[in-house]
């Protein structure tokens, strides 16, 4: 693994634990020699992760649509800032540059980006790990909903199990390093 994509909020949220986790993620990525790939913002949890990577001597690459760059929310201290035309191009480039995906607390954009990558993993479009960093049980209700989706027969148990769910970054990175994807969707598992 060379680069990890982090999806997270452009706000810091109400619980200080969210920002503390963002800093811990950025620091851990830099110490592990992993480049941060993210949305390129200087604000919210996105900015906190990038600032921590930079402070720890790591590399941070952002991918941002031109319209957001023009609103002056792009981080000026990044190793690289890729400016693209659309959100679709942003998500595709982030996926192409990354060897794994981590979601920290965030809103609709975070969930959109994360679920797209998890779906692509199920379909075999990529074989990269997808992780939810469950800070202060932020994703607890979502995890319960995902378990219900499995129980109701809409997602196979093996696709739920492919999600790397942890409460801190170090065990998540260890699991990412040893990740092996299940058979892709609509492929019969070998006995």
Query: Domain limits of the chain?
Result: 3-177
pLDDT of residue 189: 57
Which tokens go with 191?
A: 């006995």
Is there a contact between 50 and 26 (Cβ–Cβ < 8 Å)? yes
| Regions of the chain where pLDDT drops below 70 | 185-191
- Of 139, 153, 136, 70, the C-alpha closest to 102 is 139
pLDDT of residue 71: 82
Mean pLDDT of the chain: 95
> E strand or H helix at 121, and its extent?
helix 108-123
What is this structure's pTM? 0.94
189: region left, alpha or beta (phi > 0 left; psi from -120 to 50 alpha):
beta
- Of 107, 127, 102, the C-alpha closest to 21 is 102
Question: What is the spatial order of strands in the sheet that 163-166 belongs to?
Answer: 80-84, 60-65, 35-38, 3-7, 101-103, 130-133, 163-166
The domain made up of 3-177 has a fold known as Rossmann fold (3.40.50)
pLDDT of residue 72: 76
């Amino acid at each position: 693994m060379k680069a990890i994509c982090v999806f997270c909020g452009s706000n810091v949220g109400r619980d200080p634990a969210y920002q503390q986790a963002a800093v811990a993620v950025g620091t851990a990525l830099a110490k592990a020699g992993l480049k941060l790939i993210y949305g390129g913002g200087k604000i919210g949890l996105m900015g906190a992760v990038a600032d921590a990577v930079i402070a720890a001597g790591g590399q941070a690459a952002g991918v941002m649509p031109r319209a957001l760059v023009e609103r002056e929310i792009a981080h000026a201290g990044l190793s690289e800032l890729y400016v693209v035309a659309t959100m679709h191009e942003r998500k595709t480039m982030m996926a192409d540059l990354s060897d794994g995906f981590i979601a920290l607390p965030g809103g609709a954009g975070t969930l959109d980006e994360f679920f797209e990558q998890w779906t692509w993993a199920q379909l075999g479009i990529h074989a990269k790990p997808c992780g939810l960093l469950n800070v202060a049980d932020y994703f607890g209700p979502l995890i319960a909903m995902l378990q219900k989706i499995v129980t109701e027969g809409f997602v196979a148990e093996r696709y739920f199990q492919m999600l790397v769910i942890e409460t801190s970054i170090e065990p998540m990175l260890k699991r990412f390093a040893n990740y092996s994807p299940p058979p892709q969707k609509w492929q019969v598992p070998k006995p």
